[in-house]
Amino acid sequence: MIDPPVTLSTLPRPPRQAVRPPVRPGAVRYPVLAVVFVCSACGLVYELELVALASYLIGDSVTQASVVLSVMVFAMGIGSLLAKRLRCRAAVGFGMLEAGLALVGGGSAMALYAAFAWLGPSQYVLVAFSLAIGVLIGAEIPLLMSLIQRAETVRSRGAGAEGSLGAPLGMPGGRRGRQGRQARQGRRRRTGRGWPLTPRARARRRARPPKDPYDAAGTVADLFAADYVGALAGGLAFPFLLLPWLGQLTGALVTGAVNALAGGGLVLWLFRHDLTPRARKLLIGANVFVLALLGTATVLADPFEQAARRAVYGDRILVAVRTDFQEVVVTGRRGSPPDLFLDGRLWAAGRDEYRYHEALVHPAMNGRHARVLILGGGDGLAAREVLRYPDVRSVTVVERDPGVVRLARTDPDLAALNGRAFRDRRVTVAYEDAFRRLRAGGGTGGGARYDVVICDLPDPTTTDGTTLYSEEFYGLAAGVLADGGRLVTHAGPAVARPGTYWTVDASLRAAGFATRPYDMDTGDGDGVGDGTGTGTGPRTPPRAGAASGSGPAKDWGFLLAAYSGRAPGLGLAADAPRPRSLSPAGLATAASRAERTRAHAPRRLPPSTLVHPRY
């Protein structure tokens, strides 16, 4: 029996087997971009945490920011190169990378604070953490790009397989004849595709570049866009959310936990099919361990901070508060003169702070002193010395940190130390930055100007020294001085740092002042002091000696200045209250000591300006 001929039209149509892509077009890209956003925000928070904490603990924020950012950017390049070895296992590599970054970045603030408390200021710890965090951050983008491209490749292949198997050979669209034409016309009506194109539309379509199924350029653009926007979010969240609500230590730990959840969740959910059972268990275990460690550290953050404070300040901590600007710590014993620390620096030593404030205030009061302006001095100690003159009519204290003034008012020991100066009716407090206050006219309102301006400010080498010891600052101060008025400022130790001291002098002279330098010993019994000083004066880091191998500065340098063209005389007023540590002979010795340090400073020192700081 002869079988009938078989033609293509009589073959049984194979069952339609559409191979669908494993994920929808946006199911990989958008979650990955969201994780890039979160990880970038966390990475920038780590950077800002290191910069801020290093500035508080070590000082010189410009140097600390430069060290952290330069080392971190360099390490990011190393991390990008090292990520090449993980591309074959991009999923598990990214998951473990984020777990490590969460642990290192989240614990960096606590580790840096511990190193400062028990080892002293050390930039090696800062550099080590900057390097480690930078390497881990630098490896993120290459691994994420590998994951996106792999997912896009699988999707493109799946779409191609659907088109070839869903429409058998000779059967366009899987249908034939009239039924196929009707189906194609229905699709055209629904989608608007398939109708004849106009010549202009056809030319535009031919001019379009061919679509790259992998779209590497688009992937890079999306990743970097999410990365930059995430950095913006992290940069804004750090000063406005994390610091005020959680503080530095807890804020860093919470950021690390968010980092671990975002990275581990992405891999275990979206790329779980790329993980072997062993890799999945390893990744889950690592993330659970990191989260448990960060959670435990968060619970113990307050006891740790108290222990670290005791290591820095000793066991006699009376008050420790974090204001909007700085950390304020009062130490000592109730009923005795306390010590005041601002951001870890000894601001006023209760046992001999009167040496510093008498040397700062009384030489400037030699002359008319009815109206006095104190820039800084939120502890009230300079105001105490000014109020000892009965003919003083008004004292204006310009302090940027209300928390310091509040503590000086309410703490019994600190209030007793400053003689309860802020309760005096002659005292007015303005909570404002000193530079802004002077720029606005010093509060004179076009009326009477000040006879004396006392600059009780941080050391010139601190962060604020760029502004508060600049030529522009002293030029504004000259505008609020009355005729014959005087200005006095602390300028750093003349013996220990003559370059800084004489740079302040050059800045005053550049602003039009005539200066009278004098350098007070902290109490060596040579007639300048009474010989009972401790040798550890204000504006001194508490562990500076342990860190550098040399003790704190043994002198305080001051500059008395007048805007009249003649340097003011260095002496005490005839009606001055009797100071405990000053005498005319001691002031003469102080002037001679300051002049002797001029030989150790470079010749023709230029002034420090806002655009060219020299401290």
Work out whether the CA dihedral 183, 188, 193, 197 comes out positive or negative. Answer: positive
Confidence label for 206 from pLDDT (cuts 50, 70 and 90): low
Closest CA to 110 of 321, 323, 297: 297
Predicted pLDDT at 168? 41
Phi-psi region of 129 (alpha: psi -120 to 50; beta: other; left: phi over 0): alpha
Predicted pLDDT at 54? 87
Predicted pLDDT at 468? 93
Predicted pLDDT at 208? 63
Confidence label for 34 from pLDDT (cuts 50, 70 and 90): very high
Predicted pLDDT at 552? 53
DSSP E strands in 436-536: the ranges are: 450-456, 481-490, 514-521
Predicted pLDDT at 179? 60
Element (H, E) at 430: strand 427-430
Please report, as a single letter, which amino acid is at residue 502.
Answer: W
* 28-32, 344-348, 544-548, 569-573 — most confident range: 569-573
Q: What percent of the chain has pLDDT over 70?
A: 79
Q: Can 456 be counted among the known catalytic residues?
A: yes
Decide if pLDDT at 448 tops 90.
no
Q: How far is CA 529 from CA 195, 383, 582, in A?
A: 100, 21, 7
Average pLDDT (191-220) is 64
Q: What is the Cα–Cα distance from 185 to 261, expressed in whole angstroms?
A: 49
Confidence label for 548 from pLDDT (cuts 50, 70 and 90): very low
Write the burial class of residue 319 (CB in 10 Å: 0-12 exposed, 13-18 middle, 19+ buried).
middle
Q: Which residue has the higher pLDDT, 61 or 93?
A: 93
Confidence label for 459 from pLDDT (cuts 50, 70 and 90): confident
Predicted pLDDT at 316? 87
Decide if pLDDT at 293 tops 70.
yes
DSSP annotation of 540: B
Q: Which residue has the higher pLDDT, 56 or 90?
A: 90
Contact indicator for 87, 142 with CB cutoff of 8 Å: yes
Kindly write down the DSSP assignment for every residue of 309-320, as one continuous string: HHHHH-S-EEEE
Predicted pLDDT at 198? 74
Which residue bears the tokens 């190193």?
Answer: 115
Q: What angle do helix axes 25-57 and 216-237 make, rounded to 10 degrees?
A: 40
Average pLDDT (177-202) is 60
Decide if pLDDT at 358 tops 80.
yes
Average pLDDT (387-394) is 95
Predicted pLDDT at 344? 80
Q: Alpha-carbon dihedral of residues 493, 450, 607, 600, nearest 10 degrees?
A: -30
List, edge to edge, every strand of the sheet that includes 450-456: 427-430, 394-398, 371-376, 450-456, 481-490, 555-562, 514-521
Confidence label for 263 from pLDDT (cuts 50, 70 and 90): very high
Q: How far is CA 575 from CA 385, 391, 524, 569, 612, in A?
A: 14, 10, 28, 16, 42
Predicted pLDDT at 444? 58
Burial code (b: 16+ CB inside 10 Å, e: under 16) for 365-377 equals: bbbebebbbbbbb
Count of CB atoms situated within 10 Å of the CB of 255: 28
Predicted pLDDT at 188? 53
Predicted pLDDT at 345? 84
Contact indicator for 370, 393 with CB cutoff of 8 Å: yes
Decide if pLDDT at 327 tops 70.
yes
Decide if pLDDT at 336 tops 80.
yes
Taking the alpha carbons at both ends of the chain, their separation in whole angstroms is 110
* 86-95, 356-365, 517-526 — most confident range: 356-365
Closest CA to 355 of 530, 577, 584: 530
Q: What is the Cα–Cα distance from 252 to 7, expressed in whole angstroms?
A: 74
Work out whether the CA dihedral 71, 72, 77, 81 comes out positive or negative. Answer: positive
Strand partners, 319: 330
Is residue 14 helix, strand or coil?
coil
Predicted pLDDT at 560? 97
Q: In this predicted model, what pLDDT tens digit does every residue of 559-590 receive, in sequence order?
A: 999 997 789 999 999 888 999 989 999 999 99
Mean pLDDT across the chain: 83
Q: What percent of the chain has pLDDT over 90?
A: 54
Catalytic-role residue among 339, 451, 456, 505? 456
Give every CB contact of residue 302 below 8 A, 6+ residues apart in sequence.
Answer: none
Decide if pLDDT at 165 tops 50.
no
Closest CA to 16 of 177, 182, 159, 175: 175
Q: Which residue has the higher pLDDT, 151 or 160?
A: 151
Predicted pLDDT at 55? 83
Q: What is the Cα–Cα distance from 279 to 257, expressed in whole angstroms?
A: 21
